[in-house]
Structure formats: C-alpha cells, structure tokens
Amino acid sequence: MSTSKVETYSTAVGNALNVALLVASLVYAAVVIYFTQPERGGLLDEQWNEEGFCIYNKHVDHWSSFDACLYVDVIFSSTLAVMWWKWRGVPGMEAISTPTVMIILSTLGHGFAHGGMAAKLRKRRDEQENIEDTPEGVTWPMLLAFCGLFWFPLLKAAMPKMNSILVALFALMATCGPVLGGGLKKQLGFAYIQTIVSIAFHISQLSLPTKEKKAREYMTMAMTGVIPMITAWVEAFLCSAFFQSLGGHVWYDAAIILSYITFYVDSYQANMTKNRTSSMKQKTT
C-alpha cells in the first residue's frame, strides 16, 4: 500500500473511531441518567445500580473490585513508566511523550481514587450505613488534591496540546461542578467522568491538523478507546449475568491502561522499523 493510501486510511479510520466513541459515550450517559430515575428502573443491571459500578468481592477486605483497580493501575502505570523512560528518546516517539506521562499520572490518580472508594466501602459496611456521596464534609484541600492528582493529568492526557493553565481551569470546573450542583447520585459518578474525558479527548483528536491525522498514531490512538467503551456498556447491563464473577469494574481500568500500553508498544515498533529502514537507505546512497 502506498504512503498516500496509508495516510488516507489512517485519517478515515481515526475520524470514524473518534466520532463513534464520542457518540457511544454520550448515549451511555443519556441512558444512565434516564434509567437511574426511580420511575424508569429495570433496564440497567440491579447489581450495577447499587453502586454505579459492578463490584466483585464487595464484602472482602482489600480484595474488592475497587481494591483490585488500585493494584492494577499502580502495577501497569509503573510498567508504562519504565517503557517511557527507556523509549522516550527514540526518534518518532516525541509526539506521544507528553500524553504518555499524563496517562501514567492519571492512571495512578485513578487507582488511588478507587483505593479511597474501597476504604469508603469498608467503612460503610462496618458502620452498616448506606452513605450517599454528597458535598457535605468535602473540604477545599480535598477538592484541590482531587483536582490536581486526578482531573488535571486526566484532562491533560486527553488534550495534550492545550495550554496547561486552561487544562487546570477545566479540571477545577470538573472537580467543583458536582459539589456546586449539590452532589451526584453514585450511579452517575462514572458516567460523569467518562463523558467529560470522552468529549475532551475525541474532540481534541478530531480537531488535529490534517497533517497530524495522517500519522499512523492518530488511528491507533483512537483504537485505545474501543475496549474500554465496550467494557463500560457490558458492566452496566451484564454485571449479574457474568461480569461481576469475572472481577467486575477492575476490567474497565485494566482495559484503559493495557490498551494504551498496546498502543505505545505498537508505536515503538513502528518507529523502530521506520528508523531502521531510513538508516539502511542512507547507507546505500
């Protein structure tokens, strides 16, 4: 396949995937908002509806799906960090260097957030209370920590070309929005985060200059969102059927970081092949 055809293919597939995943995320949010209303229940899985997540080993200390998310996120973000450190200087890898650092940081923040949710789950069980997530008791230091450790790296990874000050403002808005609005039902927390990140990431990708869309990474980066999106839908609708017994929400976290690691390895191999080919051509001239 000629270079021009490859570039056209990468652009077309990347555009199609970004649009499809953006639409799927918005539809997911709409479905969750509509069917978590008391008078319209029944469509979403009952086990999922209890927490807004599919949780395995809910009553086992340190081995619930939330605990497993912490372990998976820390282990694989550390793995990605080692890969980034070794490959960051490879010619052709410069463009994805900044987003990779932010992916590492946001995955760690994501994992620690799940660790906090696991602790809350244990506390609620021990006190035999069904505590709803409300803005009561939330302090500004807690909000700023969540903004800096979770939302900022997450949005910076989604919009790597945006000025960091603007990203920080968006992160602050995403953090404070639910609090100023009186809090979110726990069933809406995941949809809220996924929707904001999806809008930021896919619109940012679709807005790239035509030249950047011709790069192979434009297509393969979009592919990283496919398995996490499928997993989100399966979790909400088929938790009791089989997903919970397999580990529940941990597979969503695993899908995100493993999809990105696959993308990063593929980019490294493609650039190494390109560099070797270029070197061989120079030697023969």
Residue 208 burial (C-beta neighbours within 10 Å; 0-12, 13-18, 19+): middle
> What stretches of 36-96 show up as alpha helix (H) in DSSP?
46-51, 65-87
| Residue type at 176 in one-letter notation | C
pLDDT tens by residue, 112-150: 999 988 988 888 776 665 544 444 455 677 778 888 888
Both tokens of 250, joined, read: 């941990």
Per-residue pLDDT at 131: 47
Contact 5, 210 (CB under 8 A): no
List the domain range (segments joined by +) for residue 95: 3-284
Per-residue pLDDT at 161: 86
Per-residue pLDDT at 182: 63
Both tokens of 70, joined, read: 């912490």
Per-residue pLDDT at 260: 97
In degrees, rounded to 5, the angle at the alpha carbon of residue 153 between the alpha carbons of residues 150 and 158 is 115
The pLDDT profile of the chain, 285 residues, written as one tens digit per residue, is 567 788 899 999 999 999 999 999 999 999 999 999 887 777 899 999 888 899 999 888 899 999 999 999 999 999 999 999 999 999 999 888 888 999 999 999 999 999 988 988 888 776 665 544 444 455 677 778 888 888 999 899 899 889 999 999 999 989 887 766 566 788 888 999 999 999 999 999 999 999 999 999 999 999 999 999 999 999 999 999 999 999 999 999 999 999 999 999 999 999 999 888 887 777 776
Contact 268, 90 (CB under 8 A): yes
In degrees, rounded to 5, the angle at the alpha carbon of residue 65 between the alpha carbons of residues 156 and 63 is 125
Residue with tokens 């950047």: 212
Q: Residue 55 gets which letter from DSSP?
A: B
Per-residue pLDDT at 3: 73
Radius of gyration of the chain from Cα atoms? Answer: 20
Q: How many helices (H) and strands (E) does the chain have?
A: 12, 0
Per-residue pLDDT at 186: 81
Per-residue pLDDT at 181: 58
Q: How many domains, in total, are found in the chain?
A: 1
